[in-house]
Structure 1
Amino acid sequence: MTTARRDAVRRALAVSEGFRSAQDIYALLRAEGSKIGLTTVYRALQALSDAGEVDVLRTDEGEAVYRACTTGDHHHHLVCRSCGKTVEVAGPAVERWADQVGAEHGFTDMTHTLEIFGTCADCAAAKA
């Protein structure tokens, strides 16, 4: 894949707020006049994810969604179900727990993901 196409996907993520699906990114790029294909968008997202440049999570429907990482450190996400606002959060207690559970069962070199979904203060206020 050309770097130019990967850079286009990277830029689309940089200007997006919250997590976006590959289809969302594809539609944005096409609306800007790009000739990029949906398969290329998927490949670029996978490459960016493998490089640690994007965060990936699965929605309740099982769809993978992506956003540009704002930190290179291990982190978790607090995501608003209504508007998609996302906050990166540290979870030292989760890290200790994962290490402890793994060790108790003879596992090493553990990895994990943790996403917390809720309603942000702005959306909660709008519903009130």
Structure 2
Amino acid sequence: MSTRREAVRQTLSESSGFRSAQDLYADLRADGSKIGLTTVYRALQALSDSGEIDVLRNDDGEAVYRACGTETHHHHLVCRVCGTAVEIEGPTVESWAAETGAKHGFTDVTHTVEVFGTCPRCSS
């Protein structure tokens, strides 16, 4: 793994919740890194492709990233106020996706499901 990719992974693993590429870039630059924004995006793509990080689209459609807490397939329940995320399993969603794909003759079906709400801390 390249040292730049490792720097992005390390910064992300030290972060709480999901972070945008711009946020990570700003953190890295503030810590003295000479990394470029394009390199941050490339590192995030490589880390996502390898399954080391989670990526989702927030309510605004922006991609945000977080170090994976588990290596198994999962979904997220995300607070739209503070960004806190909880990894959740969705066996009903898994069955539905597989059945829907099979019903229409599709193979190698994948899916992305993210659930947004307001966490207890932000609700009070």
Normalized against structure 1, the TM-score is what? 0.94
Q: CA deviation at 1:59?
A: 1.5
Partner of 1:92: 91
Q: Deviations over 1:78-108 (max 9, x none)?
A: 0000110000000001101111111111111
Task: Count how many residue pairs are aligned between Structure 1 and Structure 2.
Answer: 124
Give me the CA root mean square deviation: 0.9
Q: What SS is found at the alignment partner of 1:71?
A: coil
The one-letter code sitting in structure 2 at the alignment partner of 1:103 is A
Return the alpha-carbon distance in structure 1 between the equivalents of residues 79 and 61 of structure 2.
Answer: 16
What 5-or-longer segments of structure 2 have no aligned partner?
none
Partner of 2:24: 25
Partner of 1:67: 66
Q: Percent identity at matched positions?
A: 70
Listed as ranges, the matches of 1:40-59 within 5 Å are 40-59=39-58
Give the conservation status (yes or no) of the 8 Å contact 2:78–2:85. yes
What 5-or-longer segments of structure 1 have no aligned partner?
none
Return the alpha-carbon distance in structure 2 between the equivalents of residues 72 and 4 of structure 1.
Answer: 23
Give the stretch that moved more between structures: 6-15 or 54-63.
54-63
Return the alpha-carbon distance in structure 1 between the equivalents of residues 40 and 62 of structure 2.
Answer: 15
Partner of 1:15: 14
Q: Deviations over 1:20-62 (max 9, x none)?
A: 0000000000111111110100000000001000111112222
Give every structure 1 segment of 4 or more consecutive aligned residues whose post-TM-superposition deviation is greater than 6 Å.
none
Normalized against structure 2, the TM-score is what? 0.97
